[in-house]
Amino acid sequence: MLTLRRLLVTAVTALPMISVVGAAQQGAAPPPVARLVAEPAALAMRAGETVAFRVRAYAADGREIPNAFVRVMAGTRAVRFTDSTVTATAAGRFEATATAQGPDGRAVTLAIPVAVSWPRVTTLTVSGPAGALYAGLTVPLKVTGTHADGSERPGLTATWRSANAKVASVNRFGEVTAVAPGTTTISAEAEGATARLTVTVVANPIAALEITVQESQVRTGDVVHLTAIAKNAKGGAVADAPITWSYTYVPDDSIAPAGLPGGAGIVQFGRFTGNYPGRYTLLAQSAGVTAQTSLQVVPRDVRQRIQVTSRGTINTTHTSDLWPWTGKDGRDYVLVGTWGGDGYALVFDITDMDRIVKTDSVRVDARTINDVTISPDGRYGVLSREGASNRQNGVVILDLKDPAHPTIASTFTQELTGGVHNMFATNDYLFAVSGGSKYVIVDVRDIYQPKYVSEYRHPNARIHDLWVRDGIAYSAQGGVGVVVVDVGNGRYGGTIEQPKLITTYAVNSGHEIYPYVQQKTGRTYLFIGDEEMSRRGRTWEGTNYALSGPDGKPPRNGVAQTSGGYTHIVDFTDPMKPLPVGRYHLEDYGAHDIIVEDDVMYQAYYDGGVRVVDVSGELLGNLYDQNREIAVFKPYDPDAYTPNAPFVMNAMPWKGRVLFTDFNSGLWAAKLLPKAFVP
């Protein structure tokens, strides 16, 4: 979610390549920045290095402004800034930009050249299939290069050679073709290091392939498991025969008039899916022997109209998160936070979602209540705090005995003074993200006397979001990706008092996360959202949006905000062997909060509106390409804080309806109309 940084001129996110330098001081605002100075002025580094770095801000009279807010952004995850350091993780030439608030609200910027080179590769290894190769077979080899510190070089290019091309040849990609029985050596060389692999070729026993795929017709996005049996001349199975798959494609009438789209289908992980309708011919091949079968892919039509039924309009400030619950009185409510709204949270009665009614508000010492949450049993609620006047921040715990009129039970700040951006609540424990550095676990069995239990901090990471399921905490952490921790499940040795790391998964994202277990397939999928506020470097770089005006407050009637990034989908059924199987990607918009229920994803897609998407069955490829979208709604409102500027922050299903909050226009309720209403 968005984080308010007073005096910034554009949106700040918790991406690892962004740093906000300088701490807010209470009292008078600092003077406008006239000049920025980087120390050093240019950076020359090797990947893996961390060096000292800072940006100093000066006023027009030459005085240094020690408490000025300065944002440093590199536009790449290969370079990560903190308040006092910069870390390089990949080679390249980049330009970081430092930005601060200047006179009359104008931005003062400074370009910082960054040149990153790779350290020398010291060790090479070559790996390939075990055992002998059958003549006529082509298999890929993998070369791995490591540096002196043991880190692996990504994207390494090697020079390949075969000692005897009459036995086995190798191309520039490291693909070995077995030619005739015998033994030879394949070598790879890069940056002065060499690795060798002995290859043995034997006569090819494969006489035929039999495809055992059962499906003959599927919908776009349906996943087909590719299975085939290699047989020898006597009809016996050749169990160790590697089989590769490909396809050809003929579009159907709905596609052909517009021309053939790229990436019609996907073959990966021994599975196939068709993105577009048409006839696909699946081809199996092994050692020069081929077989084929045809498959008809028909359009997936899951569209339903979406209709707004009621609203809880908020247009005097920005709106942040929401959380619905059933109160002890049997009625339904939703708690809504505000962003830059002087610490107000609002309560609405949503028992009748055709007539939403505001029942009360709660004000706390905060500039922004970015996240709100409710315990599953509806016993307590929590407001996150950022920008408290005493800089203590932390969380405010609400007693929901009278759900229409919550009262403050307690405030908890231990280890949370850096500001709480996101939270997750169970009946007994609260998980609160502390300043992006860690999450703190709080015992809330007595909400009037909450107690610190433990915490988890992952090295070299910036945590943004977490979700706890079955005693396992899944968190999205910039610079690392997904961090999975046993916080009481016990299978991996962790407890609530002593959390234990299970695994990490590197993904080019570190913001929103939602773990979902499909009941029909038993698969666990992680949905991981990007949240990128900068579109720099894209063909459409977005709008000149200002997060704060000259007075440090969000500007009213400003420019519509834009975003980028998408939702990654990872098959996490085996947490030690995750598979990046899919994504939900719309190029012109950016992903935010995600909830999945009953095989439907409810996605807050910022300026792309609220998106309702079919995620049933196995997933592979881009869901957008496969007609899996059920409904889309963009909340245009001429009376919004920023008029006609949809920017959906959060979306949740609730008792057959869709609830969502928009940054500029508040709370919305909608329903999906029956399928019969779709033309």
Residue 494 gets the label, from left (phi > 0), alpha (psi -120 to 50) or beta, of beta
d(Cα 367, Cα 381) in Å, to the nearest integer? Answer: 19
Looking at residue 535, its pLDDT comes to 86
Reduce the DSSP state of residue 95 to 3 states and report it. Answer: strand
Asked if residue 297 lies in contact with residue 219, where contact means CB atoms within 8 angstroms, the answer is yes
Asked if residue 60 lies in contact with residue 103, where contact means CB atoms within 8 angstroms, the answer is yes
Neighbours of 138 (CB within 10 A): 19
CA separation, residue 432 to residues 3, 95, 292, 426 (Å):
15, 34, 54, 11
Q: Which two tokens stand for residue 258?
A: 């517009």
With vertex at residue 512, the alpha carbon angle to CA 506 and CA 514, rounded to the nearest 5 degrees, is 90
- The residues near 106 (Cβ < 8 Å, ≥ 6 apart) are none
Domains and CATH numbers, the chain: 18-117 (2.60.40.1080), 123-202 (2.60.40.1080), 208-298 (2.60.40.1080), 312-452 (2.130.10.10)
- What is the layout of strands, in order, in the sheet containing 168-170? 138-140, 175-178, 168-170
Cα 373 to its chain centre, rounded Å, is: 21
Asked if residue 602 lies in contact with residue 648, where contact means CB atoms within 8 angstroms, the answer is no
Residue 176's nearest CA partner among 196, 195, 162, 194 is 162
CA separation, residue 155 to residues 144, 418, 477 (Å):
9, 38, 24
Residue 547 gets the label, from left (phi > 0), alpha (psi -120 to 50) or beta, of alpha
Looking at residue 27, its pLDDT comes to 44
Reduce the DSSP state of residue 624 to 3 states and report it. Answer: helix
Cα 135 to its chain centre, rounded Å, is: 44
- The residues near 438 (Cβ < 8 Å, ≥ 6 apart) are 415, 455, 456, 457, 458, 463
Looking at residue 255, its pLDDT comes to 53
- Backbone φ and ψ for 676, nearest 5 degrees, come out as -60, -20
Looking at residue 254, its pLDDT comes to 59
pTM score, whole prediction? 0.86
Residue found by looking up tokens 């996360």 in the block: 513
Looking at residue 3, its pLDDT comes to 34
* Residue 520: HSE in the Cβ half-sphere, 13 Å Cα cutoff: 8
Asked if residue 341 lies in contact with residue 661, where contact means CB atoms within 8 angstroms, the answer is no
With vertex at residue 623, the alpha carbon angle to CA 621 and CA 627, rounded to the nearest 5 degrees, is 125
Q: Which two tokens stand for residue 540?
A: 């459409």
Residue 112's nearest CA partner among 158, 73, 168 is 73
Reduce the DSSP state of residue 625 to 3 states and report it. Answer: helix
Q: Residue 250 forms beta bridges with which residues?
A: 279
Looking at residue 106, its pLDDT comes to 73
Looking at residue 22, its pLDDT comes to 44
Asked if residue 215 lies in contact with residue 282, where contact means CB atoms within 8 angstroms, the answer is no
What is the DSSP code string of 292-358? EEEEEEE-------EEEEEEEE--SSEEEEEEEEE-TTS-EEEEEEEESSTTEEEEEE-SSTTS-EE
d(Cα 664, Cα 672) in Å, to the nearest integer? Answer: 23
Print the SS3 string covering 97-115. Answer: EEEEECHHHCEEEEEEEEE
Residue 244's nearest CA partner among 176, 297, 290 is 290
Looking at residue 12, its pLDDT comes to 28
Residue 134's nearest CA partner among 268, 239, 213 is 239
Residue 482's nearest CA partner among 447, 524, 444 is 524
Residues in the chain: 679
- How do 579-584 and 621-622 pair as beta strands? parallel
d(Cα 3, Cα 346) in Å, to the nearest integer? Answer: 19
Q: Which two tokens stand for residue 19?
A: 């740093």
CA separation, residue 120 to residues 49, 91, 155 (Å):
13, 12, 14
Q: Residue 133 forms beta bridges with which residues?
A: 201
Looking at residue 551, its pLDDT comes to 63
> With DSSP H G I counted as helix, E B as strand and the rest as coil, what are the percentages for the chain, rounded to 5?
0, 50, 50
For 623, which DSSP code? G
Residue found by looking up tokens 């309560």 in the block: 347
Q: Which two tokens stand for residue 366?
A: 């905060």
Looking at residue 19, its pLDDT comes to 43
Asked if residue 322 lies in contact with residue 336, where contact means CB atoms within 8 angstroms, the answer is yes
Tell me: cis bond preceding 119? Omega within 30 of 0 counts.
Answer: no
d(Cα 414, Cα 430) in Å, to the nearest integer? Answer: 13
Residue 597's nearest CA partner among 532, 540, 528, 514 is 514
Residues of the chain with pLDDT under 50: 1-27, 256-260, 678
CA separation, residue 113 to residues 107, 259, 464 (Å):
19, 44, 28
